[in-house]
Amino acid sequence: MLPYLYNHCRCEQKSAKRVYTFLGVLLITVFLTVIYFVSQPSTPPKISYYHWKNTYRSLPDLQVSHPPHRLYIKFLDIGYREKLQLNPTRFVDPPPTGPEVIPVVFLDNRALRESSEQVIQDQILKAIPPQHYQNLQIDCDWSEQTREKYFSLLRTLHESYTTLSATLRLHQVKYATQTGVPPVNYGVLMYYNMSEIRDIDTRNYVLDHAVGKQYLQNFQQYPLPMELALPLYQQVRVIRQQRLALLLPHGELQSDKLNVLSEGAFEVIKAHYWQGEYLYVGDELVVDEVTIEQLQEASRDLARHIQPQEIIFYSYQDARRYPYEALQGLSILFD
């Protein structure tokens, strides 16, 4: 009996030793695996651009100085003014063959509300044949009234296009339970134009990060992969008699006819034509523009909530105002 107990105890000791050895090896393996992945350099988001003109012309200088990972080109603009308005982009030059081209359709919410889903679908398929493009993006600021119709359209389009994406506004992420989540492969958060453009107290309609920060919620719970779109463009708002009168492209101001009110705000003191429009004495010009410092501040805050694989800058034509290295620097903030 004693030899049996002795041998039995020795067997238990050997088994325990083997278990401890296995656990030790397992813990070391897990530790080394974690160290390996943590030490591996992560890849910052790729840099892409929107080409958002009614006429497409190639930009060979930018393709050299600011090479895009992808080029998102507006192919079709669907609006509504008493009836459905279709504005396909006119291609003076063919789309580039280097970067991947993603066709984009701008769909006005009123057009979605007033027109049939079938008509809209047919127009998209006609303008962007699936046999030529299998990646499509829809830009639509849908509402509660048009949500079901829009989501149904997306599901139908997904039957023709392999990869489908949709733009997202900040409120559609923060209040996803109310607004719904579009049935697409991924969303693109449009981090610009988040203020009220008709509010004369809006100081920078293009990028108002103070407003944007209030919506940085629910990102961890949002069920779609999300890329990011950031602005590069500029514009000038003309405030006349306390109302927004004109929205003009940015250009060199005639400073001798203006009085400086504050940074980016001017009063017309001598009537004159500018950008093809007549400006009256007393008009206020508010310049909406984005500096690299403003983009850096926004990117640092956004990096706490979103980890995009791609940053899409709006728009490609405006990229020449920023050194490519500066845009790369923004991408690194998300690394």
| 319 pLDDT above the threshold of 70 | yes
DSSP states of 149-168? HHHHHHHHHTTT-SEEEEEE
Give the mean model confidence (pLDDT) for residues 263-277. 96
**Domain-by-domain residue ranges, the chain?**
1-40, 46-233+292-332, 238-279
Q: Whole-model pTM?
A: 0.86
Considering only CA atoms, which of 121, 102, 76 is closest in space to residue 165?
102
The pLDDT value recorded for residue 13 is 52
The pLDDT value recorded for residue 34 is 36
Kindly report the three-state secondary structure assignment for every residue of 127-148: HCCCCCCCEEEEECCCCCCCHH
pLDDT in tens, 43-86: 999 999 999 999 999 999 999 999 999 999 999 999 999 999 99
| 256 pLDDT above the threshold of 90 | yes
Report the C-alpha gap between 35 and 43 in whole angstroms: 17
More confidently predicted of 27 and 32: 27
pLDDT in tens, 5-28: 444 445 455 554 554 444 443 444
For the domain spanning 46-233+292-332, the CATH number is: 3.20.20.80
Q: φ and ψ at 203, to 5 degrees?
A: -90, -25
The pLDDT value recorded for residue 201 is 87
The pLDDT value recorded for residue 27 is 46
Burial of 164 (0-12, 13-18, 19+ CB in 10 A): buried
The pLDDT value recorded for residue 17 is 52
The pLDDT value recorded for residue 335 is 87
Give, for 48, the enclosing helix (H) or strand (E): strand 46-51
Give the Cβ contact number of residue 239 at 10 Å. 18
